Amino acid sequence: MRREGDTKLKLLNTAVDLIWENSYGSISVDDICNRAGVNKGSFYYAFKSKSDLAVAAFENHWNKKRSLMDQIFSSQVSPLERLENYCDRVAQDQLEKYDKIGKLCGCPFSSVGSELSTQDEGIRKKAHELSERSMKYLAATLRDAAAEGTVEVKDPVELARQVFCYVTGLIMQAKIENNPAILKCLKEGVFRLLGVKPVGTVSSAV
């Protein structure tokens, strides 16, 4: 059982990396198995298809980052500082990929969702679900900001959607241009949407 679990985990982690760094359509089951060091029979024992693996892989990827999201959006941190930390982390994730493979990769969930939204309903739904989870963190933060009077917010859910769309759109454009300099506009643009200024330099603890 443990070996089966290890095999499945290898496939989950490998699938996220390959899809994020390339695209869903450009990689095959063979590519995933070769990178993971898993034979094809073991793949189909664990997953019915590449699509099923992709859905599970992105759920697994989200679960691994959930504790970090909880830390970034902790209620012990002021709302504006949470948003700064979020922007810094998004940019950091992109730059780490850039340093590793020489190209920006965009948001893994949005990238695969936009690629397959008209082709694979299971993947589209999972990408949408994961986006909604991020927006819930943002909406809760904006409610707190409104409660303390630091941001004027009439509809936290809609403003959270606007912020999220700006963030994903900007990093997608950075990916298209393969230009990390675009990421410098991320925090400034988010706070412009909110009508406030960043509170200052944020600790790198996150």
Give residue 148's domain range: 73-194
pTM to 2 decimal places: 0.88
First to last CA, the chain: 35
Q: Is 101 left (phi over 0), alpha (psi -120 to 50) or beta?
A: alpha
In a domain, 37, yes or no: no
Q: How many CB atoms lie within 10 A of CB 108?
A: 21
Is 56 a domain residue?
A: no
Domain assignment present for 102: yes
CATH number assigned to the domain comprising residue 162: 1.10.357.10
The answer as to whether 46 is a domain residue is no
In a domain, 203, yes or no: no
User: In tens digits, what is the pLDDT along the chain, a chain of 206 residues?
Assistant: 456 568 999 999 999 999 999 999 999 999 999 999 999 999 999 999 999 999 999 999 999 999 999 999 999 999 999 999 999 999 999 999 999 999 999 988 888 888 888 899 999 999 999 999 999 999 999 999 999 999 999 999 999 999 999 999 999 999 999 999 999 999 999 999 999 987 764 433 33
Comparing C-alpha atoms, which of 29, 55, 39 is closest to residue 7?
39
